Structure 1
Amino acid sequence: MRFVIIGAGAVGGVVAGRLAGAGADVAVVARGAHLEAIRRDGLLLRQAGGDSVHRLPAYATPDEVDWRAGDVAVLGVKSNDTQGVLQRLPRDVPVVCLQNGVANERAALRLFPQVYGVCVMLPSGHLSPGVVLAQCDPVPGILDIGRIPHGTDEICDAIAAQLRAAGFHSEPREDIMRRKYAKLLMNLANAVEALCGRVEALDEAAEPLRAEGERVLQAAGIAYTSAAEDAERRGDILRMVPVAGEERGGGSTWQSLARGTGAVEADYLNGEIVLLGRLHGVPTPVNETARRLVVEAARRGTAPGSMTAAEFLAAIALARA
């Protein structure tokens, strides 16, 4: 089995480095300065236990990959880039969605018979070309996996085993989408963290997003794991640590603003709740406001933390009025 990881940023890059370090066969697809740095210097994985450099085959697009029997395509791109990637994959390759959100699996299943979802609990970072950070130690993350729409199979079992060999906690789960919808509720706060930074009032500002999201999922009849189930799975496994002397700045959306990428995946996080709300007649002014504000911030090149929590709460109060 060879892992072709498409999108070797924070999550994809850490998984690529850890798998390669455990002896797995890994190739990556990246772009721009990040691709150039990987080709020139290798992928630098920084973690509390020490840095490691991984010389991996690196491609600019999936079209360049020398696809062969036994390959698995692992999507590590943001959800807004998924459709373009899927169109460039061979149609007989198993597709693993190593992504937040819940739309990627549906998009992949339209085109591919073997699709797998991963519930990603992996604090990681990517702010410099060629460099990724694993920000938990000694276990870098929890990556449970299941077949879409449900169940498990031999490929699922084999991937989980490889991830465990690379130091992750990973179990095959027949109900992986139930777990991914619970993670979606958590990821609704990504927009607020990016807009306001990691401030004391962050939980207060994010709570209305989750409450609205829960109402929408209930109206849609979509099951998700409870907070108690999620806490039991996490336990004390994920222990955040400084890497290279630096504390974690923020999650994936925060990092997108920090890197000035011009785009965020809020349309597929908060936007998923907005979509479901429209389909099932549930107003979603809070998530729509968060989605709009963070998308506008990305387009303007606004730095993370440029809005106060009070300003965000005032914006959603106005939207609710």
Structure 2
Amino acid sequence: MKVCIYGAGAIGGYLAFALAEAGVDVSIVARGAHLATIREHGLRLRKDGAERNIKLRAAENPEELGAQDYVVITLKAHSVPAVAERIAGLFHNDTALVTAVNGVPWWYFYRHGGPLENTRLESVDPNGVQWRTFGPERAIGCIVYPAAEVEEPGLINVIDGDRFVLGEPSGETTERMLRLADALKAGGLKAPVKSRIRDDIWVKLWGNLSFNPVSALTTGTLEQICRFPETRAVIRAMMVEARAVGEAIGVRFVIDVDKRIAGGEAVGAHKTSMLQDLERGRPMEIDALVTAVQEIARMVAIPTPTIDTVLGLVKLRAMTAGAYP
């Protein structure tokens, strides 16, 4: 079983370490000082106060790694189309592509059923690059719950969590998915397999589409934006609108809005990834988290006035910071 992690940042490094410890033939695509350190000294992982080190194959050029049984993408969504051809170079005929990426995945309407079957989302897959290059039949959904960071080149610090939810777009329980889940579990991770992966996508997306842009606009932590009455009201309105959009395309929400907000508040004084990207001058993950929801809303004629307003504001904020095209 050969697995390549494409984009070995915090989450990719965590996955690579776990799979390597499970005895999987795992390799990573990385770059810069992070890659150089891993090649020379191995990949280090700090978790629960303990630090471990493991050697694995690492390259900047995926062609050096050969064909893989699984390719796990852990890049941010907006980074993937530009490297789609390089990623596809890792495929053989039966390679599975695991999308461990936040937001609405590019394959969302593959095997979805109904009038939107095989609809392509321009906001997350401009010109259908990923759909054409990868093929949606390769896709396995993966929802990432851990919080981790690259503390220094070659060192992944796991702050919290070990859960990676897996699901086929078709809802089937396939052999390829079970093999991957078993490998993740053998590496000490939780890897539940879901028959309705889109429900889980939306529960996480619910927070991403609201907490992230509101925090970027206000520079507030999760705790602050959930406790301050005015920002909490904006977050709640965005979630209510998003729930209507999700339900219109068949999503079942297993928790209510206020419980989801409470979950964000409980994280405490944590800066969202979008706020961190803004502060560090990195491209902000706006389209997969927010624009995609607006795009789907237009398809099903659901009004989203609060989402539209916040999206417009955060896009301009990102543009003025040079963090949005």
Structure 1 length-normalised TM: 0.77
CA contact (8 A) 2:43 2:154 kept: yes
| RMSD (Å) for aligned C-alpha atoms | 2.9
CA contact (8 A) 2:102 2:143 kept: yes
Does the 8 Å contact 1:277/1:283 carry over to 2?
yes
Per-residue CA distance 1:91-135 (angstroms, 9 max, x = gap): 632101111212233465553332100122112223543332211
Query: In 1, Cα distance between the equivalents of 2:73 and 2:24?
Result: 17
1:38 maps to what in 2? 38
The answer to whether 1:73 aligns with 2:71 is yes
2:146 aligned partner: 122
CA–CA separation in structure 2 for the residues paired with 1:44 and 1:34: 11
Distance 1:200 1:135, change over 3 A: closer
CA offset digits 1:122-151 (Å, max 9, x no partner): 122235433322112xxx321121112321
Per-residue CA deviations over 1:46-90 (Å, capped at 9, x if unaligned) read 21141122332222243443225xx21001011112223333213
Distance (Å, rounded) in 2 between the aligned partners of 1:296 and 1:65: 40
- Aligned residue in 2 for 1:50: 50
Indicate the larger mover: 266-275 or 175-184: 175-184
Which of 276, 288, 298 is the matching residue for 2:296?
A: 276
Give 1:209 deviation, angstroms.
2.0
Seen in structure 2, the aligned counterparts of structure 1 residues 91 and 67 have a Cα distance that, compared at 3 Å, is closer
What whole-Å deviation, never above 9, does each CA across 1:296-316 have from its counterpart, x for those lacking one?
Answer: 44455599xxxxxxxxxxxxx
1:224 counterpart residue number: 252
Partner of 2:114: none
Question: Which of structure 1's runs of 4+ aligned residues deviate more than 4 A?
Answer: 106-110, 295-303
Contact 2:213 2:311 in 1 (8 A): yes
- Residue in structure 2 matched with residue 210 of structure 1 by the alignment: 239
- TM-score with structure 2 length normalisation? 0.76
Q: 2:220 is matched with which residue? A: 197
**8 Å contact from structure 2 (residues 222, 269) kept in 1:** no
Please tell me whether the aligned partners of residues 16 and 26 of structure 1 are also in contact (alpha carbons under 8 angstroms).
yes
User: What is the CA distance between 1:4 and its match in structure 2?
Assistant: 0.3
Q: Distance in 1 between matches of 2:57 and 2:315?
A: 33
- Contact kept, 8 Å, 2:222 with 2:271, in 1: the verdict is no
Same amino acid, percent of matched pairs: 30
Contact 1:62 1:85 in 2 (8 A): no
What is the one-letter code of the residue matched to 2:252? Y
- Quote the offset at 1:193 in angstroms: 3.0
Unaligned 5+ runs, structure 2 = 109-124, 227-231
Counterparts in 2 of 1:19 and 1:273: CA distance versus 1, 3 Å: same
**Corresponding residue number in structure 1 for 2:119:** none
Distance (Å, rounded) in 1 between the aligned partners of 2:254 and 2:12: 27
CA distance in 2, matches of 1:83, 1:91: 20
Distance 1:187 1:125, change over 3 A: same
Contact 2:222 2:272 in 1 (8 A): no
CA deviations over 1:263-298 (Å, ceiling 9, x no partner): 121111111111112222333333234334444444
Cα deviation 1:203-252 (Å, max 9, x = unaligned): 2142222122112223x323133117xx8xxxx9xx98xxxxxx974343
| 2:223–2:269 CA contact under 8 A, matched in 1 | no
Deviations 1:164-223 (A, max 9, x none): 1122211222211221122211211222234423154412142222122112223x3231
- Alpha-carbon separation, structure 2, partners of 1:294 and 1:127: 28
Read off the aligned partner of 1:213 and give its amino acid letter.
Answer: A
CA distance in 2, matches of 1:64, 1:286: 47
What is the alpha-carbon distance in structure 1 between the residues aligned to residue 320 and residue 38 of structure 2? 29
Give the Cα–Cα distance (whole angstroms) in 2 for the partners of residues 99 and 32 of structure 1: 22
